[in-house]
Structure 1
């Protein structure tokens, strides 16, 4: 039975609509970051050689507001959902470990295909591996999980800062014009045919996996923060507490914006390219504040139809994530238009706005007809080792001792 609580209509009593809303919103930030990386080789040079003032300003702003925050938000939601999935298995009387292992294997398999065919900067493989680590830490008390998360973030920030300062002291700055000859082969490969693009993906994959390994402690820290928040039932208790949401959003915003601005200065100017890792050391420490401000501000402001549209996108976030990569690959590589290194940053971001709007519209229409997107259906089938119940079917129920039915997660 559907229930409309004035926030978003709950089709599935087992889901927290607030988490789906945040996932739907996080898709936008992830799209902006990935689009810059898939559109050309100058994501860290303010738009590249010859970029106009508008492109440089847009690149700087995108870095300041989205560079790390949205992946952290998605990682936090992953950790929170891990606890919900564990509770669901317990309520159904099912063993959680086999389910979790199958789910991580499914995620890893999708990640491999995504990285090789569409985008080597895939995050699904990293999530799958870290999900196994999270399983080993599943029984940590919330306070212990938060302390470990803070320790991981601080350790990574110190490492990046030390290496970044060493880079500043020991190397000469590299301008976009000097960088261009080094990436000429990559540009040609991404503009080539299917075989050329696949070869470029395989060539870039080791370096992107190395980057994921470097930042794995940051993702795991966000997982652990989600684990702790779910253990405290933070969203259930505070997700609609307007005074609390406003307080957190306003308190976290200044530090988050200041850190984002410094990160952008190091990545997109006026500081030169040697300062990139210094900026990211700052981002490791301050991006969680901006992500928290985004999350609380969104839950504070979004209601009604907007909330339902975002929640529909969030329920199919994996399908939307893969679709974004498919569209971007068709636009920027030799799979389609071959616009790699041919579009300015402002045009790329404008295209992202259009794509995200179309995804929200299409996602809302699809969600009204089916329960799962294609990728979600595949992953749930692998996870449960059986095909999920078809759309529109009623959820199985158990009964309290009083005889009242209770939905099974």
Structure 2
């Protein structure tokens, strides 16, 4: 007889692969670096204000470096890890004779709820809702061959270039409905979208912030559509599923030659193209959106894959190093830390907190990021020394498996 979901439990600590937790921790650092310029309200400042800052020259260099080394690369890494995680959930459930798909869909449904709450009440830059919705499609590919997986992954990763080309030559905006909704909402409630930086910095109550978050949800949908993010993420999910199915993360010593090849080629292709991508982004797409999309394709994915492979190679050489002992706990409670970064960002920069927004240049913001991440690393190490799961991970798992799970080690 088929077991129920109550007959199985989450992966034990002894069954975890440290490299996956390390990569999650590494990805969280990059995501924080990408997101905090918006939390600090720097991204909302008018260009003339940015140019008048004493840090303007350093900020310009920092922006270039972020486009080259950060933008898109770490959500690529996070998306790969999600696909790998799906393969582990299914394998774990099948090994124990349980209904892995029931568990998976319940897990995705709960993540959808968490993402919606994050989007509407904490930060409009949420990615969890998209992950949950697209994650529900992954079981459709479970019986596909490895070649089929890679072909579909390539198709979804290449498709945005074609869509951008068609939209550019036809002067079409697929996101126009959400643009109109955001404009209507702002007009109805008297929200000046050009003044968000000072509005949020001076906000004295949560209601003001909530108004920003609601209109931001429309903007987020616009960003997903204009950036073809759903196709990109699904392609990365399938690539991660391929990696997980072939247990490359578990047999890295045997796959060392493959990792070296991915690292070398990813760096050789991705790094030069990242300079082109940064040039295009800084110049507001002088060759057009379609060409910018080509630069994105040729830079973000190869360099993101190089980060993953390079981390694996570095782990093989230094897996007993102190750095891994600090980074792995951060990745083990990735959901808590991801949401935690948003809460910290609101507290530091919005008027309902310390109100430090608009006072930092981009370089200073990234220095704050390092301080925040060091705090999260220390907190995670302390927490995981006493508990089996992060706080949000604990609740998520109990609701997923429908039973009480002890949290203390």
Normalising by structure 1, we get a TM-score of 0.83
Aligned to 1:6: none
Residue 33 of structure 1 pairs with residue 50 of structure 2: no
- Partner residue in 2 for 1:358: 375
What whole-Å deviation, never above 9, does each CA across 1:231-267 have from its counterpart, x for those lacking one? 2222222267544433321221021112221221122
Structure 2 counterpart of 1:265, from 279, 284, 292? 279
How big is each residue's C-alpha offset from its partner over 1:319-371, in whole Å with a ceiling of 9 and x where there is no partner?
Answer: 11111111111122222123333321001000001111111122112111111
Q: Distance in 1 between matches of 2:348 and 2:244?
A: 39
Q: Secondary structure in 2 aligned to 1:235?
A: coil
Is 1:205 matched up with 2:217? yes
Query: Could you tell me whether the CA contact under 8 Å between 1:29 and 1:66 is conserved in 2?
Result: yes
How far apart are the structure 2 equivalents of 1:45 and 1:241? 49
Which deviates more from structure 2 when the two are superposed, residues 204-213 or residues 76-85? 204-213
CA distance in 2, matches of 1:332, 1:274: 36
Q: When the two structures are aligned, how many residues end up with a matched partner? A: 369
Select 2:239's aligned residue among 225, 230, 235.
Answer: 225
* Whole-angstrom distance in 2 between the partners of 1:184 and 1:108: 31
Is the CA contact (8 Å cut-off) linking 2:269 and 2:298 kept in structure 1? no
Contact 2:273/2:295 (8 A) holds in 1: yes
How has the CA–CA distance of structure 1 residues 184 and 18 changed in structure 2, closer, same or farther, with 3 Å as cutoff?
same
Aligned CA-pair RMSD? 2.6
- Report what 2:19 is aligned to: 18
Distance 1:212 1:268 in 2: 20
Structure 1 residue 140 and structure 2 residue 144: aligned? Answer: yes
1:249 aligns with 2:266: no
> For residues 286 and 42 of structure 2, what CA distance do their matches in structure 1 show?
14
- Out of 87, 92, 97, the residue aligned to residue 93 of structure 1 is 97
Give, in whole Å, the separation in 2 of the partners of 1:281 and 1:211. Answer: 18
Unaligned runs of 5+ in 1: 1-9, 168-180, 393-409
User: What residue in structure 1 maps to residue 6 of structure 2?
Assistant: none
Aligned counterparts of 1:241 and 1:140: Cα–Cα separation in 2: 22
Distance (Å, rounded) in 1 between the aligned partners of 2:166 and 2:116: 32
In structure 1, the residue corresponding to 2:386 is in which secondary structure? coil
Counterparts of 1:118 and 1:53, CA distance in 2: 32
Alpha carbons 1:142, 1:227 under 8 Å: kept? no
Task: Give deviations 1:250-289, integer Å, cap 9, x for gaps.
Answer: 22102111222122112224x5688566434421343111
Give the alignment partner of residue 62 of structure 1, picking from 61, 66, 70.
Answer: 66
Q: Is the 8 A contact 1:156 1:281 kept in 2?
A: no
Q: Which moved more, 1:361-370 or 1:246-255?
A: 246-255
CA contact (8 A) 1:141 1:228 kept: no
Report the counterpart of residue 304 of structure 2 in structure 1.
Answer: 291
Q: Measure, in 2, the Cα distance between the counterparts of 1:95 and 1:228.
A: 21
CA contact 1:267–1:275 (8 Å) conserved in 2: no
Residue 158 of structure 1: CA displacement? 2.4
SS in 2 for 1:225: helix
Counterpart-to-counterpart distance in 1, 2:262 and 2:41: 37
Gaps of 5+ in 2: 1-10, 172-190
Query: Which range moves more in the overlay, 81-90 or 45-54?
Result: 45-54
The CA distance in 2 between the partners of 1:147 and 1:61, in whole Å, is 32
Give the Cα–Cα distance (whole angstroms) in 2 for the partners of residues 374 and 45 of structure 1: 39
1:137: Cα distance to partner?
2.0
Q: 1:273 to 1:326 in 2, by over 3 A?
A: farther
Q: Is the 8 A contact 2:394 2:407 kept in 1?
A: no
Which one is further off, 155-164 or 248-257?
155-164
Cα distance change of structure 1 residues 152 and 31 upon mapping to structure 2, 3 Å threshold: same
